[in-house]
Amino acid sequence: MPHDETAGSATPTAPPRRRPPGVRIALTLTVIALLAGSLVGWLLSRSPDSSPGPDTPSEAAATTAGSPSPGGKTVDAKPPHPSRSSGAGTDGPLAGKVIVIDPGHNPGNFQHTAEINRLVDAGTHRKECDTTGTATNAGYTEAAFTRDVSVRLRALLERRGAKVSFTHDGERPFGPCVDERARFGNNARADAVISVHADGSARGNRGFHMILPGLVTAGTADTRRIVGPSRELGEHIAAGFARSTGSEPSNYVGEGTGLHVRKDLGGLNLSTVPKVFIECGNMRDPEDADLLTNPRWRQRAAHGMAAGLQSFLVK
């Protein structure tokens, strides 16, 4: 009669054959080794030191496949999709801090020139809602660059415990306008705001620079409370950016300091919280363009910004 595991059987069966002691010991040691390896792998995956180094793409960006740009350079085929706002981290050096990232321009601005040419309040005057931004000679746009770097930066800041928000996340066809970008940081009561850009200057003009708000007390602008903190924020980010990327401060603006004060930008004039712009390099210079189109360099750029933000916010 065949043995049925679902019912008892009175038919006697032969006792199971026992393995030699040496085989049992070897199997036991193998099982212990497998369990120990699994435990170590799990602990490493939970370690805060497992975050990527300066040359490693962030988790969000690493999911994006690379493809050659029109000039043959490898750039991200499609920047990873950032969320408008993240939840606050529960631990880390930036826990409790609110940071707003403003990715400069919008890929859709090119198709909405009438809308972005509409004049809006810039504090002391009226100016265009937004601009298209610049691009490399091979066609890699500033809007694509700023969004990619912003996503990488967000991942780094969130791992340090910060609550991070974006002024836009690709959900709108163009914009937002410069006055709305300023209000976003104000309404979030951000501890710091960084607007990410790349410049479009002449060939031979190289390097990065921070744009800082000047002292403005006219019209709807009053920057008295943020001029000092914004300058300090800019100095910290400039130092972190230079260390992480190896880039030099701009050779064409800021007199070698990497710091440039402006009073004509609505995004700064209308801000009530510490805010800076960073021009990461010149897209129209071939050497800078080689850096800006390199995903590994963009990851280092994000690391530099994150380090600067942290050193400013944690004292």
Which band of pLDDT confidence, cut at 50, 70 and 90, is reported for residue 170? confident
- Distances in Å between the Cα of 229 and the Cα atoms of 53, 57, 156, 172 are 29, 31, 23, 31
Q: Is 128 a catalytic residue?
A: no
Which band of pLDDT confidence, cut at 50, 70 and 90, is reported for residue 218? very high
At residue 249, does pLDDT exceed 70?
yes
Q: Give backbone dihedrals phi and psi of 311, rounded to 5 degrees, phi first.
A: -65, -30
pLDDT mean over 24-45: 44
Which band of pLDDT confidence, cut at 50, 70 and 90, is reported for residue 86? low
Q: What pLDDT, on the 0 to 100 scale, is given for residue 201?
A: 98
- What domains can you pick out in the chain, each with its CATH number? 68-313 (3.40.630.40)
At residue 204, does pLDDT exceed 60?
yes
Cα–Cα distance, 213 to 262 (Å, whole number): 6
Which band of pLDDT confidence, cut at 50, 70 and 90, is reported for residue 91? confident
List, for residues 118-147, the tens digit of each pLDDT value: 999 999 999 999 999 999 999 999 999 999
Q: What pLDDT, on the 0 to 100 scale, is given for residue 87?
A: 56
Catalytic residue among 142, 158, 235, 279: 279
What is the DSSP annotation of 178-244? HHHHHHHHHHTT-SEEEEEEEE---TT---BEEEEE---EETTEE-TTTHHHHHHHHHHHHHHHHHH
Do the bridges between strand 209-213 and strand 259-262 make them parallel or antiparallel, or are there none, so unpaired? Answer: parallel
pTM summary value: 0.76
